[in-house]
Amino acid sequence: MTTSRVVVLDYGSGNVRSAVRALERVGAAVELTADPASVLAADGLLVPGVGAFASVMEGLRNVGAPRLIDLRLAGGRPVLGICVGLQVMFTRGQEHGDPADGLDQWAGVVERLDAPVVPHMGWSTVEPPENSALFAGIERERFYFVHSYAARSAPDFVDVTWSQHGPTRFVAAAENGPLRATQFHPEKSGDAGAELLRNWLGTL
């Protein structure tokens, strides 16, 4: 079996080392870089995201990531977003009164969670769709979330995994051809998160 080559996009996000280690543990050959040739050549690209929507977008633009992500997806090359790396795939973020444009891969707006306690921090169950590639064999597991904002809808062509915090139902993960993303942190989600990353590697 050939080892999958994965680039973790290095644009200044805060959780890159844990993502690199998690991927290495499940058998990937991982490179932390923003080099365009490496990003385009890798079997898979992981887009991490920690912090505010607008600052993540600024970091992505600084390394030319919007174009690189577009090129990968146009060629059917897999991309996985994590946390704010999921949020920026949507059209727009409304965070701290500072609206910002996202990558617009999926139409939708990322908004503050409407719940008594924010941020949503801790382990929650999810509701994946049937035949989900990411959640095969781990449909009933819990995953680790830490976020104050989320998308509450997605286009019909996107396979959405849902979760809930207080009264708010939100997008916990999304799968759309080569583009997949999770609101939770698989690299902080123990055995279930490792299995999800292993499932993703199996799609490369």
Which residues are catalytic, by number?
83, 185, 187
CA distance 195 to 201: 10
Instruction: Give the whole-angstrom CA distance, residue 56 versus residue 63.
Output: 11
Closest residue by Cα to residue 203 from 106, 136, 129: 136
Whether the CB-CB separation of 189 and 144 falls below 8 Å is answered with: yes
Please state, in angstroms and rounded to a whole number, the distance separating the CA atoms of residues 105 and 135: 22
Q: Which two tokens stand for residue 134?
A: 């990411």
